[in-house]
Amino acid sequence: MASAVTASFPFAAALDVATLLRQAPLEALENRILVSHVLGLSRIQLITQSERIVSAAETARLNDVFQQRLDGEPIAYIVGEREFFGLPLQVSPAVLIPRPETELLVELALERLPPGASLLDMGTGSGAIAVAIAHQRPDAAVTALDVSDAALQIARANALRHAPGVSFLRSDWYAALNDAGHQRFAVIASNPPYIVAGDRHLAEGDLRFEPVDALTDHDDGLSALRIIIAGAADHLLPGGWLLLEHGYDQAAAVRALLDAHGFDAVQSWRDLASIERASGGHLKSAG
Ligand code: GLN
């Protein structure tokens, strides 16, 4: 039987890039991501520089980051970056790692945002939603808020890189907006904490390392969604849309809340996994 290439970790000193990649202990894609990150090589350079010898300092750093990953640390936190809507975004353990299903919310908002209109992203975290929308639509006036100063710092860095026009506000949901007067938005979008307290997923995989207050409301999963829906009419323009991401089993409950608060055209949309992942509706138009 031909002997399979076996992982040999921690890495020995003075390996070349190709040997190191063969011996790396994770799946091939993750091996490449971590080696590119530490050596500062593109995916192509991993191939074109496959004979390059890895220095002692680089080997020590590689052993550290591979061990972090073997201990469960999300790869996005190790490399400090995750792509969302085609944009490389800075991330840290202060913010949720942007997820592909959240791109649905961005698409829904882009389809409903009139030219030159205003949009509010509530609980922006890394800034993913606000930055993706503002990057696509430089005409829009995008405001993003979060209660976490650490999150706002990351979000501002992402805006600076991709969509410098985004305005930021530190706010516990609508609180600071109420103080600031009566700005109204054409679209409000949010991906709030919606996991039920004690859900087993909170203790599994990447979620163990993510900011718990961004994942769960520490309650029935609907409390942040309730606050956002209840306050939206005071902060939307006539005809304005409220668009919300929610959990796989929350669509009916969110639609009921939207109905109860007078929204029209209340509906849910499925993500790429065919799960009802976002719901929304709009206020009645004036006149
Ligand atoms: N979609 C995330 C997850 O289930 C949760 C994000 C959130 O609570 N907003 O992993």
Tell me: the pLDDT tens digits for 30-59? 999 999 999 999 999 999 999 999 999 999
- Least Cα distance to 194 among 143, 257, 109, 267 occurs for 257
Ligand 1 centroid distance, CA of 39 (Å): 32
Q: Is the CB of 191 under 6 A from ligand 1?
A: yes
* 24 or 6: which leads in pLDDT: 24
Share of the chain above pLDDT 70, in %: 97
If phi > 0 it is left, if psi is from -120 to 50 it is alpha, else beta; for residue 111 that is: alpha
Question: What's the N-to-C CA distance of the chain in angstroms?
Answer: 79
**Maximum distance among all alpha carbons in the chain?**
79
The pLDDT value given to residue 287: 58
The pLDDT value given to residue 5: 59
Q: Is the CB of 195 under 6 A from ligand 1?
A: yes
Q: Is the CB of 193 under 6 A from ligand 1?
A: yes
Q: Is the CB of 173 under 6 A from ligand 1?
A: no
Residues 227 and 145: their CA atoms lie apart, in Å, by 15
Q: Is the CB of 99 under 6 A from ligand 1?
A: yes
Confidence tier at 3 by pLDDT (50, 70, 90): very low
Ligand 1 centroid distance, CA of 253 (Å): 17
E strands, the chain, are: 81-84, 87-90, 118-122, 141-146, 167-170, 185-190, 236-245, 264-270, 276-282
Closest C-alpha residue for ligand 1 atom 2: 215
Ligand 1 centroid distance, CA of 45 (Å): 35
Identify the H or E element spanning 36. Answer: helix 28-39
Q: Which domains does the chain have, with CATH numbers?
A: 1-70 (no CATH), 81-282 (3.40.50.150)
Q: Is the CB of 97 under 6 A from ligand 1?
A: no
Contact 250, 196 (CB under 8 A): no
User: Is the overall model pTM greater than 0.85, yes or no?
Assistant: yes
State the average pLDDT over residues 226-232.
98
Q: Is the CB of 202 under 6 A from ligand 1?
A: no
State the average pLDDT over residues 54-65.
98
Contact 50, 17 (CB under 8 A): yes
Contact 16, 50 (CB under 8 A): yes
The answer for residues whose C-beta is within 8 angstroms of residue 176's C-beta and 6 or more apart is: 145, 169, 170
Ligand 1 centroid distance, CA of 53 (Å): 41
Residues 35 and 49: their CA atoms lie apart, in Å, by 12
SS3 148: coil
SS3 242: strand
